[in-house]
């Protein structure tokens, strides 16, 4: 608040330097450590002269105060002793507390919608810094503000829990922090393969058919079920697959295809066999025998997309399905 005249002193009690009496002099300058001090009023001074406390106000006071000067009611003479002048700050203010006198109960800072509960200020040249000390107060770590030149004003909101082992704090771009897997884990990830009975299941000739692979080698996040991969986490994924056919004849073929959300994924230009399919036809070679197809593709998935593996063969009507199948995927960390 503003004051008319001199602002009241804070309750920082001070004892003035010793004052030597000068014969025939009434006015003396009050100092603490050789620096002039300015009591708020005469009532804020305890003055002892020749072992007697002096009256500060009322009728016929023993002294008056103006600025840093104390003036006794009459001139002092040789032999008089000013025992002490004790200056009190404003009796309504706490002032500067002594070291280690403020308890935890008195530091219960309250934040509001417009102000932080505690501010660590800079001094004009050094940025605000909060230090957390060890138990012996001989070491500490510091949290420091960005420099003034950054014009930075933002809030970091911590997660609801302490996360899991090997996770790190990440931001959503608006200061909301969350824990995420550290080290760029390529998950979700899975790898499945077919059983003997699934290998012996007939598939229709020259027809893309959903392939079954029920043996899970691993599945990091339970994303593979009923021959279907549902990532659950948006991102780019590498999908890999393989299947073989035996007893093939001339001009027969094997084909693999990735289906997304129930439909075949073809090339962007609409080509019949594009980047999400694999096709092989050896032509006439005197007996094709066995053929093996592999398929690797990178897909851009939303968390609720799902992917399936389909296969087809044209082997002149020979019975049997596609053999030695595998199907897998993992997230790519960019």
Indicate the domain borders of the chain.
14-87, 189-332
Of the given ranges (4-8, 9-13, 252-256), which has the lowest mean pLDDT?
Answer: 4-8
| pLDDT for res 317 | 58
More confident site: 274 or 111:
111
Question: What pLDDT is recorded for position 313?
Answer: 83
Q: What is the pLDDT of residue 273?
A: 53
Instruction: Look at residue 305 and tell me whether its pLDDT is greater than 90.
Output: yes
Q: How far is CA 118 from the centre of its chain?
A: 19
Provide the pLDDT for residue 23: 96
Q: What is the pLDDT of residue 90?
A: 63
User: Mean per-residue pLDDT for 230-238?
Assistant: 94
The per-residue pLDDT of the chain, averaged, comes to: 85
Would you state the pLDDT for residue 11? 58
Higher per-residue confidence, 5 vs 216 = 216
% of residues, the chain, pLDDT over 90: 53
Asked whether residue 33 carries a pLDDT value surpassing 80, the answer given is yes
251 or 80: which leads in pLDDT: 80
pLDDT band at 312 (very low <50, low <70, confident <90, very high): confident
Mean pLDDT (whole number) for 18-43: 93
What digits encode the pLDDT tens for the residues 56-65? 988 999 999 9
- Calculate mean pLDDT across residues 207-232: 94
181/226: higher pLDDT: 226
Fold of 189-332: Jelly Rolls (2.60.120)
Q: What pLDDT is stored for residue 279 in this prediction?
A: 66
In the structure, what pLDDT confidence band is assigned to residue 102 with cuts at 50, 70 and 90? Answer: confident
Place 189 in a pLDDT band, splitting at 50, 70 and 90. very high
Query: pLDDT value at position 165?
Result: 85
pLDDT of residue 96: 66
- How confident is the model at residue 15, as a pLDDT? 93
Above 90 in pLDDT, residue 92?
Answer: no
The per-residue pLDDT for 76 is 95
- How does pLDDT run across 241-296, given as a tens digit for each residue? 998 887 777 777 788 889 999 998 876 555 555 557 676 666 665 555 677 888 99
pLDDT value of position 287? 54
Q: How confident is the model at residue 206 (pLDDT cuts 50, 70, 90)?
A: confident
The pLDDT score that the predictor gives to residue 5 is: 58
Q: How far apart are CA 207 and CA 313, in angstroms?
A: 7
Q: What is the mean pLDDT of residues 300-325?
A: 84
């Amino acid at each position: 608040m503003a004051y008319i005249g001199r602002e009241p002193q804070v309750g920082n009690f001070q004892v003035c330097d010793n004052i030597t009496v000068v014969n025939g002099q009434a006015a003396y300058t009050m100092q603490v450590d050789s620096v002039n001090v300015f009591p708020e009023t005469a009532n804020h001074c305890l003055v002892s002269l020749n072992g007697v406390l002096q009256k500060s106000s009322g009728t016929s006071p023993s002294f008056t105060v103006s600025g840093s000067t104390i003036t006794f009611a009459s001139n002092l003479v040789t032999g008089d002793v000013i025992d002490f002048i004790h200056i009190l700050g404003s009796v309504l203010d706490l002032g500067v507390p002594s070291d280690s006198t403020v308890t935890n109960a008195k530091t219960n800072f309250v934040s509001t919608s417009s102000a932080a509960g505690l501010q660590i200020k800079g001094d004009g040249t050094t940025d605000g810094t909060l230090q957390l000390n060890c138990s012996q107060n001989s070491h500490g770590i510091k949290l420091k503000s960005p420099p003034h030149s950054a014009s930075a004003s933002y809030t970091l909101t911590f997660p609801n829990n302490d996360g899991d082992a090997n996770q790190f704090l990440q931001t959503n771009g608006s200061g909301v922090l969350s824990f995420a897997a550290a080290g760029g884990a390529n998950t979700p990830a899975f790898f499945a393969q077919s059983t003997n009975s699934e290998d012996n299941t007939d598939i229709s000739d020259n027809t893309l058919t959903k392939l079954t692979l029920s043996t899970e080698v691993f599945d990091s996040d339970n994303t593979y079920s009923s021959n279907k991969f549902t990532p659950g986490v948006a991102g780019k994924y590498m999908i890999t697959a393989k299947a073989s056919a035996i007893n093939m004849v001339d001009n027969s073929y094997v084909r693999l295809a990735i289906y997304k959300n129930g439909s075949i994924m073809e090339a962007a230009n609409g080509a019949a066999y594009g980047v999400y399919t694999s096709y092989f036809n050896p032509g006439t070679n005197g007996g094709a025998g066995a053929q093996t197809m592999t398929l690797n593709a990178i897909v851009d998935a939303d968390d609720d997309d799902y992917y399936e593996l389909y296969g087809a063969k044209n082997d002149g009507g020979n019975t049997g399905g596609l053999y030695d199948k595998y199907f897998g995927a993992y997230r790519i960390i960019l």
